[in-house]
Structure 1
Amino acid sequence: MNLQVTAKNILAEFYPDTDTISVTHDGYTWKQDPAFRPTVTLLLNGKEVSLPFSDALCVHREEIHTGVGDGWKIVYSHWQYEGSLLPLSLTASYWLEKATGRLYAELNPLVESDETIDFCWPAPFLWKNHSEKAYTVIPMMQGTLIPNNWPHAVEAVAPSFVYDRAAYMPWLGQIDCGHGCLQIITTPFDCGYDLIHPAGGPTHLNMRWCSSMGRISYKRTLRMEFFSNCDYNTFCKSYRRYVKEHGKLLTLKQKAVSNPNLNRLAGSPVIHTCIYSYIKPEAVIYKTAAPDMLRQFATFAERQEQLRALKVRGLQKAYLHLDGWGVDGYDQRHPDVLPPCEAAGGAGAMKEFQDACRELDVLFAIHDQYRDYYHDAATYDPKNSMHGAGQNIPGECTWNGGPQDYLCTSMADQYVRRNHIGLEELGICPDGVYLDVFSVVRPDECRHPEHPMTRTECIEYRANCFEYLRAKGTIMSSEEACDFAIPHLDLCHHAPYPGTWNADQSQTPRGIPVPLMNLVYHDCIMTPWQIRDDAYGRLVGKKSYLCALLNGGMPYLDIQADEAEIALAETVAAFQEKVAFSEMVRHEFVDGNLNKERTVFDNGLSITVDFRTNTYLIEEA
């Protein structure tokens, strides 16, 4: 017999023959796919083995009734594998919160012994409609919508984990004819998803939960909220409320109280330039790099003269991000980057460059890195590297500096202190610091017995690095806008729309690009955008500077830009300065036209961009 519970205007029904549920809200019923088979994957005798929940030898179902909600719990115990009984036991629960009508799906381990890899649960909801009125909402990078009948195949940005490019924010959503289900992953650090959308659809999306230190380890929770007459804006604002309720919404206005330099940062073009960069022949990127990228060099004095020339050509103010200033240039020998590059003039010339920036009303910032752990670093010791389950040391040879492991993040803040105290002793006190990859690479874990680290702890260690520098009054930045880092950051390198790469270095959008991240966090972090038509990674069919304007973003500016590029950057920067501290309250496609978009900010300004005519209109309410 099916069981029902109600709360607010929600009816939830449990089907014990399939261990699935349906949820009816405002006349629309969301029903889980009974054909989906939840599985847990273990490492058994050196092999990955996926065990369906339904193959458990003992399954016990019972109702849940507490002071806050009602629902059902299923206890799965003991699986048979190659003649052996596996002593695995876990509970899967669904319960409806009385006060809010929210549905919670929770999985909790009771007994674990073998190495767990991951598990897939709960079953996804089935689609009713196969049209553009049914679509999936994914905060993949800046954000995308995938209509259920979208004619092109869409894949997630691999690997599909929360807190990398596949999901800046820990939520996913489905909308069908204005009825919506928002799923917030309240335990996000060991989580990902599987996405399949073949050409023409339909879209399949399910949760994949990863082990923590080889175990399920702790309760995993998915919070579901149901809406009618909604769209993706509704999801973004609901998630923003969730973040605020958990004390993690820190706006730029609040950050500027402790660091007034953020007021100067608003309206500043971002100049991203480099002192010294070369690629070692053994690095993977050596084989694909353009010849002029194999080695680049400029002295600190040369960069200073280029900056002065920009001012003569009309630059008002700027934020300058300097790569390749270290002992052997960009992405080399980290974390042992001191002293500054001697061939470029050394510490004295770097300080003179810093002083010139301040004279020219340019905020001075430097690139830094505390994850890539290069084998030729002066103090490299494999004992400090992250270790895997069998005490193996993962590594790669992709980037400029060649062979590397990954520094265990539990030690990263110690290296940050050492290096930045060393810079201070040289008279170099940058206005901003960029800690590379920390806000885009999935959280790491380490199994070394002397410095074990879960992914949750990894996030805390990364935050420690950010906060050490923020306490010095530093403008803090990192690579992208994964939301665990946003309370600790003022700026990111970029937060672009997701796309697939083309031969000319442009990208074709994955689905329909929408600014989900900015709808949640625009007033919490500043984001630069490319403005040139030949920009690396530009989206096909969209002028780069119009994307920057639409998002209220900062412009990137080349250090050798001409007057025309400077004028365009100043136009974008002027609008960004007006909305930098304002919440983006709504995004829309004007009259349903995918080439005409509007964003609205809480200070009354809106901007409408037409990508067909390449025009824009700024209006004030």
Structure 2
Amino acid sequence: MTNIKINHTEIQFEEESLRITLCKEKTVWEWTDTYSPHLECEDGHLEFKDALSVRHKKVENGIGAGIRSTYRGFRIGERELPYAFETYVWIEWTTEDVYFEWIPLCEEGIKVKAVYWPGEMAFEEKKENWYTLLNMQQGILIPNTWEVELGKIIFDGIFETAGGYMPWFAQVKARQGYIAICTTPWNAAYQAKHPAGGPYTHVGMRFEPSLGKMDYRRVVRYSLLSDCDYNDICKAYREYVKEQGRLRTLAEKAAQVPSVDRLIGCSFVHKGIKTYVSEGSDFFDKDAPDINNQLVSFAKREEEIRELNAAGVKKLYMHLDGWAEPGYDNQHPDYVPACEAAGGWEKMRSLVDAMHECGYLFGIHDQYRDYYHSAPSYDDDYACMLPDGTIPQHQRWAGGPQSYLCGTQAPYYVKRNFKELKKNRIELDCAYLDVFTCNEGDECNNPRHRMTRKECYDARASCFNYLMSQGILPSSEEVSDWCIPSMVFSHYAPYDFMLREPGSPKYGVPVPLFNLVYHDCLIEPWMMEKVSDSEDYMLYALLNGGAPYVIRDGAYPNFDGSFEPDVKLTLDQDIERCKVVSELHEKVAKCEMVRHEMVGGDYEVQRTVFSDGTVVTVDFRNQVYEITR
């Protein structure tokens, strides 16, 4: 065994099994007995220890000390292949953080699908104060005693998607914990398992190829924390992103575009104009043709806005779907002109003018990822191409067959389309660029515009930055770590259970991990449905200091949280409930969420504390709340 120790932190490395154990003072974190470092390849499963040559070397330099291991040559069948890589596990002198680095040296002969390393920690004791933190949407805490099995993780746990808003996971046992931060998250993911009733939760890291190759060094940083809870872990990550220069607050964004302050405290309205579901779409219903085609005029939406104003709604933002020909989720990126059957540019302009006359903010739904074959400008040459030369396509959404627009092209289309809107005197306050912060980044192997996943995120950010340069506040579907410097608000940033059918079991305790890091950086609207006599989403909006939806008409019924609630409220009741949430949002939107806690250890009674001293306590069991200073 090889040991590396710096101050209170130690790495123990077993050369025979290649297992790593991390120690800090008296706390030991060791890999599970069943884990062995391995690669999943097109030709099957390869263990690190199967390498024909394995060398280990102690390394010490000016920043730390560790163990470098080199693995060369693998045999598949009768073939000996030169594939080679290194691992480097080391402790930083200054921080005592432990870094795990996987480094490709020669990729000849083997097509790697995933590298499963570093390993999952043994976490076997059925104790309530042993828990795992996953960034699946807003966040969940899974005690080892949790009775519900962890279900399918959305987007297969890929970081920078709805399955991993932030690129880290963590575990705590009796106030001793670690946070594993993937510092190269663009082609990385996690996988986790918690059986019904525990008694364990296992979570591990994996790295996936970029354009068919592992290509670059992959890094995970483990910080071992003493006397900590999930708040301390979130604040450790907040400190990390501050060090990276990626913590950009709403106050900073408002200094660039002052209308950020006008959006704070708004009630949100989500409405549409035209729905057209093509026969080539998976959503097409041949037995109910009326569902496939629906139209509401711009004049009708203007009338509804004036009614809300008359009802006393003082601050409001409207997100408008399906405003262009030929309808919602159709023909992108060629999404103009304004829907003629609904009144065209003239009536759309009248709606926008009415919004501004009422003191409200207006924004549109738009899309620069889904690349519809029906778009006049569609060209395979600008669709994302896989390394094998194929172009992925499907027909999930309303517009039917589509591929994916290479992200390198998106900024050009954004500029083109928003210039057209301006030419037609549609004065936008905000704009929603769909799926950018929910779905994974794309990759493209077309040599004319080759793009890695990291470059895709950069291209998406440049679309947001362009909108900000024009005084338009950018939004997208959910939230993601990469968008913090460039995006102002989201469609929502829900707990994972909110997008499943009401009454579905919770995979863990809902906790605001994302907001403990980024609350003061983004505006998040929250669902406000009282979905049943025992569940009221308004309480989550208050607990998170977010903005409220007064009306939320989802584009696809019974999908992405658009379910009919059991409890029907009147519009007046909805307005009154939103007023409470909006007033709180005005107070705390620019405040850091400094702490979240289970009151008395009760998961059903939760409390958040904001940096201005505001304290919100909600009792989910009795459906009551209290806001104090």
TM beyond 0.5 = yes
Q: 1:577 aligns with which of 580, 586, 606?
A: 586
Q: 2:338 aligns with which of 305, 326, 340?
A: 340
Matches within 5 A, 1:132-531: 132-155=128-151, 156-201=153-198, 202-287=200-285, 293-499=291-497, 505-531=502-528
CA distance in 1, matches of 2:99, 2:551: 49
Paired position in structure 2 for 1:557: 550
CA contact (8 A) 1:365 1:431 kept: yes
SS in 2 for 1:618: strand
TM-score, normalised relative to structure 1: 0.95
CA contact (8 A) 2:269 2:316 kept: yes
SS in 1 for 2:320: strand
CA distance in 2, matches of 1:559, 1:210: 37
Q: Comparing 25-34 with 219-228, which one deviates more in the overlay?
A: 25-34
CA contact (8 A) 1:128 1:176 kept: no
Deviations 1:123-157, CA, capped at 9 Å, x for gaps: 22212522222111111100001112321110322
CA distance in 2, matches of 1:102, 1:288: 59
Paired position in structure 2 for 1:544: 537
Shift of 1:120: 0.7
Counterpart of 2:184, as a letter, is T
SS in 2 for 1:74: strand
Structure-2 change in CA distance of 1:69 and 1:593 (3 Å) = same
Shift of 1:505: 4.8
Counterpart of 1:13, as a letter, is Q
Shift of 1:448: 1.2
CA distance in 1, matches of 2:8, 2:534: 43
CA distance in 1, matches of 2:454, 2:210: 9
CA contact (8 A) 2:128 2:143 kept: yes
Shift of 1:296: 2.6
CA distance in 1, matches of 2:534, 2:514: 21
Shift of 1:111: 0.6
Shift of 1:401: 0.6
CA distance in 2, matches of 1:285, 1:25: 54
CA contact (8 A) 1:589 1:596 kept: yes
In structure 1, runs of 5+ residues without a counterpart are none
CA distance in 2, matches of 1:530, 1:579: 18
CA distance in 2, matches of 1:585, 1:26: 28
Q: Is 2:615 the counterpart of 1:615?
A: no
Q: 2:91 aligns with which of 92, 96, 112?
A: 96
CA contact (8 A) 2:21 2:28 kept: yes
CA contact (8 A) 1:501 1:507 kept: no
Shift of 1:11: 2.3
Q: 1:59 aligns with which of 44, 54, 62?
A: 54
Shift of 1:76: 0.7
Matches within 5 A, 1:15-94: 15-43=14-42, 48-94=43-89
CA contact (8 A) 2:148 2:505 kept: no
SS in 2 for 1:598: strand
Counterpart of 1:551, as a letter, is N
CA contact (8 A) 2:543 2:608 kept: yes
Shift of 1:507: 3.9
Shift of 1:285: 2.3
Deviations 1:138-184, CA, capped at 9 Å, x for gaps: 11100001112321110322422001111100011011111101000
Paired position in structure 1 for 2:561: none
Structure-2 change in CA distance of 1:517 and 1:107 (3 Å) = same
Counterpart of 1:547, as a letter, is Y
SS in 2 for 1:557: strand
CA distance in 1, matches of 2:552, 2:247: 34
CA distance in 2, matches of 1:210, 1:412: 25
CA distance in 1, matches of 2:294, 2:602: 44
Counterpart of 1:102, as a letter, is D
SS in 2 for 1:130: coil
Q: Is 2:592 the counterpart of 1:596?
A: no
SS in 2 for 1:558: strand
Deviations 1:323-371, CA, capped at 9 Å, x for gaps: 1001111101100011111111111111111111100011010111000
Counterpart of 2:100, as a letter, is A
Counterpart of 1:342, as a letter, is E
Shift of 1:42: 2.7
Deviations 1:481-532, CA, capped at 9 Å, x for gaps: 1110121111000111112876x55543221110000000000001001112
CA contact (8 A) 1:313 1:562 kept: no
CA contact (8 A) 2:22 2:29 kept: yes
CA contact (8 A) 1:20 1:34 kept: no
CA contact (8 A) 2:465 2:486 kept: yes
CA distance in 2, matches of 1:61, 1:559: 58
Shift of 1:559: 8.0
Paired position in structure 2 for 1:533: 530
Shift of 1:541: 4.5
Q: Comparing 285-294 with 140-149, which one deviates more in the overlay?
A: 285-294
SS in 1 for 2:222: strand
CA distance in 2, matches of 1:586, 1:282: 49
CA distance in 2, matches of 1:294, 1:246: 47
Count of residue pairs the alignment pairs up: 610
CA contact (8 A) 2:123 2:202 kept: no
Counterpart of 1:283, as a letter, is S
CA distance in 2, matches of 1:595, 1:295: 43
Shift of 1:314: 1.4
SS in 2 for 1:286: coil
Deviations 1:228-250, CA, capped at 9 Å, x for gaps: 21111111100000000000000
SS in 2 for 1:508: coil
CA contact (8 A) 1:481 1:492 kept: yes
Deviations 1:42-82, CA, capped at 9 Å, x for gaps: 33xxxx42211111111111111111111101111111012
In structure 2, runs of 5+ residues without a counterpart are 554-569
Deviations 1:222-272, CA, capped at 9 Å, x for gaps: 000011211111111000000000000000001000111111111100111
CA distance in 2, matches of 1:38, 1:289: 52
Shift of 1:543: 1.0
SS in 1 for 2:419: helix
Shift of 1:12: 2.2
CA distance in 2, matches of 1:566, 1:599: 24
Structure-2 change in CA distance of 1:551 and 1:162 (3 Å) = same
